Chain A
Amino acid sequence: QQPVQSPQAVILREGEDAVINCSSSKALYSVHWYRQKHGEAPVFLMILLKGGEQKGHEKISASFNEKKQQSSLYLTASQLSYSGTYFCGTEWGAQKLVFGQGTRLTINP
Chain B
Amino acid sequence: GAVVSQHPSWVICKSGTSVKIECRSLDFQATTMFWYRQFPKQSLMLMATSNEGSKATYEQGVEKDKFLINHASLTLSTLTVTSAHPEDSSFYICSASHPGGITGELFFGEGSRLTVL
Give A residues with C-beta under 8 Å from B.
2, 30, 32, 39-44, 47, 49, 87, 91-102, 104
> Which of B43, B106, B107 counts the most A-chain CB atoms under 10 A from its CB?
B43
Q: What residues on A are CB-neighbors of B104 within 8 Å? A: 30, 32, 47, 49, 91, 95
Give B residues with C-beta under 8 Å from A.
32, 34, 41-46, 49, 93, 95, 97, 102-111
Q: Is the CB of B34 within 8 A of A96?
A: yes
Known: A42-B108, A47-B105. 8 other contacts (CB 8 A): A32-B104, A40-B111, A41-B109, A41-B111, A44-B105, A95-B106, A97-B106, A102-B43
Q: What number of residue pairs across chains A and B have CB atoms under 8 A from each other?
A: 56
Q: What residues on B are CB-neighbors of A93 within 8 Å? A: 49
Q: Which of B34, B44, B107 contacts A44 (CB 8 A)?
A: B107
Q: Is the CB of B43 within 8 A of A100?
A: yes
Q: Is the CB of A98 within 8 A of B46?
A: yes
Q: What residues on A are CB-neighbors of B43 within 8 Å? A: 2, 87, 99-102
Q: What residues on B are CB-neighbors of A49 within 8 Å? A: 103-104
10 closest A-B pairs (Cβ-Cβ)? A41-B108, A47-B104, A101-B43, A99-B44, A99-B43, A44-B105, A41-B111, A102-B43, A42-B108, A41-B110
Q: What residues on B are CB-neighbors of A30 within 8 Å? A: 104
Q: What residues on B are CB-neighbors of A102 within 8 Å? A: 42-43
In the docked arrangement, what's the CA distance between A10 and B45, Å?
22
A55 CB to nearest chain B CB (Å): 11
Q: Is the CB of A97 within 8 A of B42?
A: no
**Known A40-B110, A41-B111: A47·B34 in contact at CB below 8 Å:** no
In the docked arrangement, what's the CA distance between A28 and B44, Å?
19
| Closest A residue to B97 using CB positions | A95
In the docked arrangement, what's the CA distance between A39 and B111, Å?
8
